[in-house]
Amino acid sequence: MAQDPDPQRAVDDRPDGAAPQRAAGLASDISKVRPGRARRYISPWTYPASLGWPVLGTFLPGAGLLRTRWKRAGAVMLLLFGLSVAALGLLALLSPNTLIGWAVDPEVLAFAWVALIVIGVIWSASVLATHLALRPPSLTGWQRLLGAVVVGFLTLVIALPTFVGARTIYDTSALIQGVFSDTGSGGTTPDPSASPAKDAWTRTGRLNVLILGGDSGESRDVALGARTDSVILASINTETGKIHLFSLPRQTQRIPFPEGSALAQRWPDGFRGGAANDDNYFLNAIYNNVPAMAPELMPTGVPDAGAWAVQQGVSGALGVDIDYYVMINMDGFIEFINALGGITVNINKPIPVGGSDDANRPPDRWLPPGPNQHLNGQDALWYARGRYGEETGNYARMARQQCLIRAVVQQANPTTVLTNYESLAKAGQNIIETDVPNHQLPALLQLALHVQRQGSQVESYQFQNEVDGFSTVRPDWELVHQRVQAALNPPAPSTETPGTPAPPKTTAPAAPTTSPTSVVTPTGTPSVVETPAASVDECAYHPTWQVTPAPTP
């Protein structure tokens, strides 16, 4: 039998007509099946996996994506994470100075805080993508809620440290750019190519920093301008980390400038005028008056001509080269101490808050004596500057200012600084001015860490009028130079010939065995009776004072 060449006609010629119906039904069934989506078995472990792999991806970036269709992205993230950790570990081991340099480089910090935010976003997104890719298509209400809670928590675990870290880096960058200059003052600045602290000051083995306490607050006459009522030289031994603090009274006269300098030629007999005891020629008047009297002698490019002039005067007075200065606004100091969480000091005698001898106005209140007194910013400021009567005059507060510096050095540990870093960074921009250049920050940071590791050893020295031959009216500067050198370079213990005596030095006494009694009225003036004793550390607590309230009229 010959076959019909037209198959369609052969089908249509079938008497029952069932074939077309079956064909249409088959086409309808096929149209209901989505291409590439075959029905598969769903394991009961799929939902736990959608939570477990995101957890792994939280601690190993990209690890969770290895179980999804974004395997390549996950592998890249995981590889970059491993390489970054390995590189930082090798740098910390082989070249820690490089990391320290990056930590204080404004350009590196600006890149780092932006990069950290981007990393946090991508990392968090990878955790969310892992969960969505692995969770089953059909979920109950509680499963969706649990998944949202877990993924939200994991995202927070990633975002919180990365964003806080980015903010900390941003604050550091702002602090460095706001406080530190690009160039130094032109003094004995170390070679910028020497980055390690132990190598940066190899010429002398010391870093000398002048600390100035500027007072230009609301209580001072505007016509007087800012006066550096606190003048302290901090000399740091870069090998041992030991710090020597030297204080000069603010009313010291005839301040000499370095020999051969233009200022020394202008004032060959020291900074003085025609009359004795003219406060326009005191040490604390140099900041305003020298730049005003001799503007042509101020070098170009210095951040602060007044601070530079004081630096030159103290250098000539103490006979040491000064590398940098740091000027602190005493009124803004309140903000800094509060950001630090307060400061703890020993108070050996009542300290006035407010009051004026000249105006015969008694203090508003007194800081009571006692060991380990925790002070807020306002009280810490009065601890440093309060004076009323002979017992709490200029020399007493000079000692307290050194104690405050010592307390900050010892109590500003890494934990405290990191805990209050943002507030400290903002406060630092408001109260600190310095001529330290940016390129020296790595060396200074290493030196600061070295001092902390050595236990922050501090020795304090004060030059006081009519004490050990020192006079604020006619100082013997040659004798001062000898005493400073004797303090910085004491003779060996085996040397029998006594050296030149150093300025009065305070040493820590033995721990007290008794406690003083103190009753201080808010407005009265306490009467203080001093028990004769050997030279003691003003910063330590020694109960040699008995305080009774002043008699009421």
d(CA 114, CA 121): 11
Q: Residue 63, SS3? A: coil
| Distance (Å) of CA 105 to CA 71, 178, 325 | 37, 13, 21
223 and 81 inside one domain: no
d(CA 88, CA 82): 10
13 found inside a domain: no
219 and 316 inside one domain: yes
Name the phi and psi angles at 259, rounded to 5. Answer: -60, 135
29 found inside a domain: no
486 and 522 inside one domain: no
Cβ neighbours around 69 below 10 Å, total: 9
318 and 349 inside one domain: no
Classify residue 21 by burial, with Cβ atoms within 10 Å: 0-12, 13-18, 19+: exposed
450 found inside a domain: yes
Among 426, 427, 181, 442, which Cα is nearest to 308's?
181
Q: Residue 196, SS3? A: coil
| Distance (Å) of CA 356 to CA 68, 217, 226, 388, 392 | 76, 16, 19, 6, 12
CATH number of the domain to which 310 belongs: 3.30.420.590
The residue among 146, 179, 212 that closes a domain is 179
Cβ neighbours around 66 below 10 Å, total: 19
362 and 448 inside one domain: no
406 and 524 inside one domain: yes
188 found inside a domain: no
Among 213, 331, 228, which Cα is nearest to 285's?
228
395 and 483 inside one domain: no
Task: Give the pTM.
Answer: 0.65
Among 394, 354, 431, 103, which Cα is nearest to 230's?
394
- Domain containing residue 324: 194-329+432-490+499-505
15 found inside a domain: no
Task: Encode the chain (553 residues) as per-residue pLDDT tens digits.
Answer: 444 454 444 444 444 554 445 444 444 444 444 444 444 444 445 888 899 999 999 999 999 999 999 999 999 999 999 999 999 999 888 888 788 778 888 888 889 999 999 999 999 999 999 999 998 888 888 989 999 999 999 999 999 999 989 988 888 888 787 777 665 444 444 443 444 444 445 456 888 999 888 765 444 443 344 667 788 899 988 888 888 999 898 889 999 999 999 999 999 999 998 777 888 999 989 999 999 999 999 998 787 899 999 999 999 999 999 999 988 876 667 878 888 888 899 988 888 888 777 677 888 888 888 899 999 988 988 888 787 776 666 777 778 887 887 788 777 766 666 666 667 777 667 677 888 887 778 878 777 777 777 766 788 888 988 888 899 999 999 999 999 999 998 876 654 445 555 565 544 333 333 333 333 333 343 333 333 333 456 788 876 555 444 444 4
468 found inside a domain: yes
Enumerate residues 6+ apart whose C-beta is below 8 A from 89: none
What domain count does the chain have?
3
170 and 65 inside one domain: yes
11 found inside a domain: no
32 found inside a domain: no
